[in-house]
Structure 1
């Protein structure tokens, strides 16, 4: 018999699993896991340790992704990657710096290079290339967020830090904020340019990182993105982001760009850190404890670094704040007026409540204020059960809408009370990093990772028993109740029987429409563990009077995730509500019942009181409740080998090359468990045990063989003194990928950097990139799904799309009348969806062109701006019913195009009754934007202050989107630009002041004006726009006694509320939703 999972048992499981997993990974890494790769960037001052990397990432198009409500934000210290002097790549002991100090050193080094005019001539190794080159020869835009900014802002999740600090990162497919997918609560996936998390490649120390995504069509994503909640922030040295050009260097998934998280593998010392966060309303409570310890040994030949970090976030529901709890929705208006959609504050579902609505028939509507089939009072008002279930009271609302399922205000069902605002989460990360110089020409490196998260989605859609969700007496349909039910009062029984008799219906039974929130809240918990090992060797050798560097590395990662949820068992529910009074006067289940074949928390039937809310006994709840448990296992093995060096000496410098080979295997297994598998019938069909549809186990794997190379050709150097040309360099890279599922693909890039003077560099590159389909997209079996969406023939959508006239004409051909209000626009419909084994690679053609300015007269100033153009073809789309209907009705070939065969419309009611969704290489997507950043640091001595006056600095990151559109086949061009999660203009600016141990930062975040619905004319909405939005944050800190630091953060200093109307992106307005909030961090370092 299954048992309820209490809070204490959750913690016991969390810590027990953590101890066991950490022991395996950190004590016996070699026995448990295969070998792996080395660090990506040589900042270690050791000879020859020039590292290496591969890549990987995410899903279908994320274009319903806005509904999850995540935000676009901006980066603070966003600069070209900091140069590492070629001279420092010789021998010498590693520096003894903390993560914060490392970033301070970086800042000082950049300023010094700019001051002396050397900034463009030093060799560096940056994300986007395996070659060391000078910074003025970089052909791709690279931005950096350093450890200092992460510390100042108190970030505990690197993925959320990027979303808030860098405007290039848009609405994610999942994060701890907002609604969660059916599996994988609390996972964080970054998403460059809103192109989908599956098209952003994530590396750690230049190496691929195993995905934690669930390979189920009900997962948060369909691709293979990296869960950033598994990355500890305490040891992060910096986060580099390169736009577009990573695919030829790292492989699949880098269509939008590549994120490389660099850990501080040379840290020396001990640092203890504790942080707590809370809002002024005592919400959003969170805390962090971390330890970093590093030691160098054997005369600095070796080093080992250990990090431990624990985070806890206390969860919240939408109903916990006045903004998300306002239940603000747009509905078709009930009467004529200038708008098709009016804003409803306090939206309620009038056809069912948590207490229950009795009806005389299996059907109930409340449309235009008219109640159909309800039990009415003598005045004609529809009646509902009171909270205690002892009386029938009038159903109320403020005003009706042009919908049978929504009204404004009153005592109907408030859906916002049952959605997640932020997950309840515990996270533990243990990391060990090591290196050893075996000889001057041979070096070894190693990484060990263990992560454990326990995340609870606080609320989700409850189990409905209502006409709007199914037929009476079936799953999710209204409950068939006896008028002799002993839990009815005599007054209730008389009222119901009289209503039945007046309607000439049988007086033996009635119907109950109910949201069973007291039995099932929809909450679920994901327990995720991650193991990862990286090992490598690198060195150098001389051949033909030249020096060459080589590297071999291997990575093995494994992610295990289990999602547990209490579920209502439909058969036992029907048994329990069929209550009778026995001869001894006790209320029992009616005899003759049969228990469901799946085990529930109690096998003994107990009568269930469903009149009112929270009237059921615990015995009855246990009888109708089973525990569902899904399991996901992802594995990754990646081995990379390369050799690099100089081919010939050109007049401007050496022609450099890289040649390498990579072999990668990705495996995914998903087991839905007994409950979600359902009961298999003799004919092979499946009957669900409860609310969920039947799911099928998914497993699959693919492998790749990849050959790659790079060339860096300096054509003109400063030493050549060519008039009008200070520096000119070409860079190219290519990779051939053979994938066991999709065959071969060439990806390549070519770029140039031109500097007329040392102060300015013009750069550009053209890239051909790819994304391979994931196991879910390829192998997911066909399964039943529920979906809803905008019906193009609906009253509010008929004038939408890129060809409104074609849409209207085709809807008329289909016989849909004018003014039709589609049920699928507000209620889900059952259909099918699944994978497609015939999918091919996505292909993208991308271009970046920009300028980098570092003027000598203004030392310390850096400005960069780049135009980005990404066109994706053969994009894998997880087609929703909305996509399918749009492709059908917006086509000039209606009704003969194939998409019109993917759904069924009832010829009489005109409602959608069935559909088929799935994955297809059918979409295209086009993004064009301008990203820019500015950085200026200035000692106050330059303007006449004393040497101890300190230093001021400013940094700014900005994104302007020119165009972003998405299209399925020949359907309407969907505008993805300008919604609440993707404003055209977005920036973050940081103003810093430092004086000795004191520092202060003032941050301004800006989100431009955006539209409620970018694809519907503004004239259709009562309030079509969200106004521009400013948010201000502040940090102040002080280091005392050299070893101790206090850091205080105030977010949303002026307590700005989110923009009206309160229907926008949850993440975008997160600080406004929570209100003014604080973080306090105390650390000690020795």
Structure 2
């Protein structure tokens, strides 16, 4: 695992300071034992009424933990029981919460290793994350190529050290009037251990059952009163290192399972010896495909998938022609039957090539082709270092000052990444730099790098030139990495005052956060590559670069590059054709907030409470690519810099009106509370918006509550969405007017009518031959300051049952309905083409500009072929979610047999969909692979004496791969239900020392075959925690 020198980190100074404090803890701590969330003494020094508290989603102080909106809580105990050193692991155990962007799988080039939470599948940019009720600076760089596509101001869950967390309150839906933008699906509020006393150190070690993904963690926390208990300070530090894992470290990927097109019976007849039982498919009972409605899957799963059209050392193919020679996808070779093939091995020798059993598109089962899984990462290396401190001081009996300070540094690195390609699958390239840059190169059989043995083989077969199809992992493996530095400070005052007999709480604070990010990678310099592959010999026979060839430039630093065999290139040549890149980004956030709350007057059911306040927020961001990226010196389009800012001025108010008093003992009217919340958001770019919530909590009898709310919320456009300058990009532009597609779409009659107008407008477009272009088309995308806020209208309705006659029982069930309009998106090429032709809003008299979508495509005036496309950010698509959550909790006091906690949480989406525009129906996703219709978690935790142990079960229901799949479209078009088990045990060795062991995925079940839901499998975490007295 890549680990920079820790001594060079500025964070080491802070960590050292924290260690000094912890080391001094035994002398400084005055308590007999560590106390969690110490209750402050009820004295005249206490500046707030501590029998009352604010809850997530409200600024009104109230008794107990009572929310209008449904909420789930991740407790400190749960974090400790399962050894969670990363909060994303704890959060995603809540059904319905997922890692919208994570450190698993391929990473964004600008933002490796981040973990953003998402809720209800609505995107990480629509779930607001707070720390102690305040915003946290984002880790999303303002570029469309970054983590999350730059479409939000998400908070990296890596950045908050778990040692500082008391609990996480995950609120659903109604947070926008209280906190502002982004709280559409909900709010995750991370509550800190800011009243901790004593000192605690924890050491942890974990790994998987495959002896990889090793994790080392260390944390320390110290808290104490000072100045005669008028002040309190908490300091914590945490280190966490986790090794990455690659695909081939798992047996499933070593088996090379892959879904491929089932050959037709007619094509299979060209291989007389081929049978379904011997062609690599995992189920030999499935016959070859005979037609569109034959009940035979169009796609089948095979094992040992290879890409037969390339190798790491280079596949030798004929200089001209397609790369396949028949409908089965057999690779084009030499000789009378075009089936003779060679490849360069790791020694640079030309040897025979086994293409395996062919499938469409150059794929194969078995053989010597490229194993793509050799380039696939499962999870990135991640090293995290953080310090966090909170404190408060009572200046007077009713005024308290407080602060939060944090510093987070991290290094994340992809263990593998995509290679540089020069392969026939991408087309053909020329030695002068023409053609498709990533296509196969054509070389002469007299190339100086070819050995005499190789030249003889080529000559004996009449080969004077050939294409070399290669995946060049030996030239430039990008291995993107991200170095993160986040700094945040909160300073504030709070207190209380009285007006007559009424008490009021107030608070004013300033929050400032800054993120600095370095994105490191390796890139191939295309011009140097062209210089280096054009070679000749000098008078002494030494191979040199040939600057006289077309497309080359004279460069004294050029070193000839040998592509014939993996690792045959010299170190000097590799250094010449590649370069290290460093792009930089910066994010800044400043929030000024002031609020006051208290009781205004008495109602029949109690005091009418209200809160009001003002907030000013400023978001800034910049992204600066390296010169290599900005100039497009590689094979990607030039990457543009971006910079922008916006600010908001926001006023908010909230009222809680209790109409009935439980003490009245009126049948059917035990309690009735009405809540109204409002927030006016004035965004300097997106304009003004009114967010609101109104709701009811009604208890006909004690212990039975009916609750519901209606909410209007927003998501403001991000800096990348607003300020991305015109960015070149390649697009695969579909054509819905082709013969295969003209009768499709949401309204086939409308599409056909519009396509007929299209053919009339372009006389060179033949309806019988008009097709999508086989290669990508250069276009562009850009942000827009004309963007409006996303708007969401939501409502919830639920029931809470906590009867007094069953102490410890709580049951809750809630229904959600969320509709999001004006969704901000960079329209895809498919969105634009369908938006052009699949709507009645189509001006047939001006087809190139028939509507706003058609105007984004430039076409050849005769043939109608798309020559470019523009995909700026805009408002348009719609999202919707409807579904249930259910929660059951029961704490059972077993007297001398301890305490047993039983909990259940269920998430049951009924509908989740998306539509490109109002004329297109929603595409249903509920019930699909990524959104199963039932997701449950059961837990049982038993504490007795020195022991604390528990188990948990996680269940997801059967789901289709996509909702449009059928048994005709693919084998295993669904995946079966899936259940995993977790376990934990803690033993208290002494009053001060505890040891914990947790096991995630006890059964090592990666998912129902052939789908992988948990690639890491079984993993262990052991920790030793010591509390200093």
Shorter-chain TM band: 0.7 to 0.9
Q: How far 1:911 moved relative to its partner?
A: 9.1
Distance in 1 between residues matched to 2:9 and 2:551, nearest whole Å: 35
Distance in 2 between residues matched to 1:673 and 1:585, nearest whole Å: 39
Q: Is the 8 A contact 1:138 1:753 kept in 2?
A: no
Distance in 1 between residues matched to 2:220 and 2:766, nearest whole Å: 65
Distance in 2 between residues matched to 1:608 and 1:719, nearest whole Å: 88
Distance in 2 between residues matched to 1:426 and 1:247, nearest whole Å: 34
Find the residue that maps to 2:119 and give its secondary structure. Answer: coil
Q: 1:883 to 1:1060 in 2, by over 3 A?
A: farther
Counterpart pick for 1:671 among 615, 618, 624 = 624
Distance in 2 between residues matched to 1:791 and 1:151, nearest whole Å: 55
Counterpart pick for 1:238 among 149, 152, 167 = 167
Hey, what does 2:1019 align to over in structure 1? 1077
Q: How far 1:125 moved relative to its partner?
A: 1.9
Distance in 2 between residues matched to 1:789 and 1:865, nearest whole Å: 45
After superposition, give the CA deviation of every residue in 1:889-941 in whole Å (9 maximum; x if it has no partner): 54456774443454578999999764332321011011001011111110223
After superposition, give the CA deviation of every residue in 1:283-315 in whole Å (9 maximum; x if it has no partner): 221121111111111222111111111111111
Distance in 1 between residues matched to 2:705 and 2:651, nearest whole Å: 31
Distance in 1 between residues matched to 2:65 and 2:144, nearest whole Å: 46
When normalised by structure 2's length, the TM-score is 0.87
Hey, what does 2:279 align to over in structure 1? none
Counterpart pick for 2:951 among 1002, 1017, 1024 = 1002
Q: Is residue 355 of structure 1 aligned with residue 313 of structure 2?
A: yes
Q: Is residue 835 of structure 1 aligned with residue 780 of structure 2?
A: no
Q: Is residue 641 of structure 1 aligned with residue 555 of structure 2?
A: no
Correspondence list, 1:380-399, <5 A: 380-399=339-358
Q: Is residue 490 of structure 1 aligned with residue 452 of structure 2?
A: yes
Distance in 2 between residues matched to 1:568 and 1:533, nearest whole Å: 41
Hey, what does 2:304 align to over in structure 1? 346
Hey, what does 1:196 align to over in structure 2? 123
Distance in 2 between residues matched to 1:767 and 1:689, nearest whole Å: 49
Q: Is the 8 A contact 1:137 1:728 kept in 2?
A: no
Q: How far 1:265 moved relative to its partner?
A: 0.6
Hey, what does 1:152 align to over in structure 2? 81
Q: Is the 8 A contact 2:679 2:691 kept in 1?
A: yes
Find the residue that maps to 1:252 and give its secondary structure. Answer: coil
Hey, what does 2:438 align to over in structure 1? 476
Q: 1:736 to 1:618 in 2, by over 3 A?
A: same
Distance in 2 between residues matched to 1:649 and 1:563, nearest whole Å: 58
Distance in 1 between residues matched to 2:1008 and 2:724, nearest whole Å: 40
Number of positions where the alignment pairs a residue of Structure 1 with one of Structure 2: 963
Q: Is residue 656 of structure 1 aligned with residue 598 of structure 2?
A: no
Counterpart pick for 1:444 among 401, 405, 411 = 401
Q: 1:255 to 1:19 in 2, by over 3 A?
A: same
After superposition, give the CA deviation of every residue in 1:772-797 in whole Å (9 maximum; x if it has no partner): 10010011012122455988689999
| Structure 1 range deviating more: 584-593 or 654-663 | 584-593
When normalised by structure 1's length, the TM-score is 0.83
Counterpart pick for 1:620 among 568, 573, 589 = 573
Q: Is residue 19 of structure 1 aligned with residue 2 of structure 2?
A: no
Q: Is the 8 A contact 1:386 1:393 kept in 2?
A: no
Q: 1:966 to 1:343 in 2, by over 3 A?
A: same
Find the residue that maps to 1:407 and give its secondary structure. Answer: strand
Correspondence list, 1:200-211, <5 A: 200-211=127-138
Counterpart pick for 1:410 among 345, 359, 367 = 367
Q: How far 1:835 moved relative to its partner?
A: 1.0
Distance in 1 between residues matched to 2:766 and 2:303, nearest whole Å: 30
Hey, what does 1:170 align to over in structure 2? 98
Q: How far 1:347 moved relative to its partner?
A: 3.1
Q: Is the 8 A contact 2:57 2:67 kept in 1?
A: no
Q: 1:215 to 1:594 in 2, by over 3 A?
A: farther
Q: How far 1:45 moved relative to its partner?
A: 4.6
Correspondence list, 1:645-724, <5 A: 645-678=598-631, 688-724=632-668
Q: Is the 8 A contact 1:1034 1:1051 kept in 2?
A: yes
Hey, what does 2:680 align to over in structure 1? 736
Q: 1:363 to 1:913 in 2, by over 3 A?
A: farther
Hey, what does 1:956 align to over in structure 2? 904
Q: Is residue 267 of structure 1 aligned with residue 196 of structure 2?
A: yes
Distance in 1 between residues matched to 2:304 and 2:769, nearest whole Å: 25
Provide structure 1 residue ranges, at least 5 long, that are not aligned to the other structure: 1-6, 28-41, 48-87, 96-120, 502-506, 679-687, 942-946
Q: 1:283 to 1:585 in 2, by over 3 A?
A: same
Q: How far 1:1031 moved relative to its partner?
A: 0.4
After superposition, give the CA deviation of every residue in 1:561-620 in whole Å (9 maximum; x if it has no partner): 00111111111112222233333233222245899999xxx9732221111212112111
Q: How far 1:757 moved relative to its partner?
A: 1.0
Q: How far 1:171 moved relative to its partner?
A: 4.9
Q: Is the 8 A contact 2:530 2:552 kept in 1?
A: no
Distance in 2 between residues matched to 1:293 and 1:798, nearest whole Å: 69
After superposition, give the CA deviation of every residue in 1:792-836 in whole Å (9 maximum; x if it has no partner): 689999998655776789789878999999787xx8654322212
Q: 1:151 to 1:1053 in 2, by over 3 A?
A: same
Hey, what does 1:860 align to over in structure 2? 808
Q: 1:15 to 1:414 in 2, by over 3 A?
A: same
Q: Is the 8 A contact 2:87 2:157 kept in 1?
A: yes
Correspondence list, 1:928-1007, <5 A: 928-941=882-895, 947=896, 949-969=897-917, 970-971=919-920, 973-1007=922-956
Hey, what does 1:566 align to over in structure 2? 522
- Please give the root-mean-square deviation of Cα atoms over the aligned residues, in Å: 3.3
Distance in 2 between residues matched to 1:906 and 1:155, nearest whole Å: 58
Find the residue that maps to 1:619 and give its secondary structure. Answer: helix
Hey, what does 2:718 align to over in structure 1? 774
Distance in 2 between residues matched to 1:597 and 1:285, nearest whole Å: 48
- Answer 1 or 2: higher relative contact order, Cα 8 Å, separation at least 6: 1
Hey, what does 1:58 align to over in structure 2? none
Counterpart pick for 2:378 among 411, 414, 421 = 421
Q: Is residue 466 of structure 1 aligned with residue 429 of structure 2?
A: no
Find the residue that maps to 1:1019 and give its secondary structure. Answer: coil
Find the residue that maps to 2:884 and give its secondary structure. Answer: strand
Q: How far 1:18 moved relative to its partner?
A: 2.8
Find the residue that maps to 1:1042 and give its secondary structure. Answer: coil
Correspondence list, 1:749-788, <5 A: 749-786=693-730
Distance in 2 between residues matched to 1:1040 and 1:238, nearest whole Å: 25
Q: 1:411 to 1:952 in 2, by over 3 A?
A: same
Q: How far 1:963 moved relative to its partner?
A: 0.4
Hey, what does 2:274 align to over in structure 1? none
Distance in 1 between residues matched to 2:905 and 2:744, nearest whole Å: 34
Q: 1:732 to 1:259 in 2, by over 3 A?
A: same
Q: 1:339 to 1:691 in 2, by over 3 A?
A: same
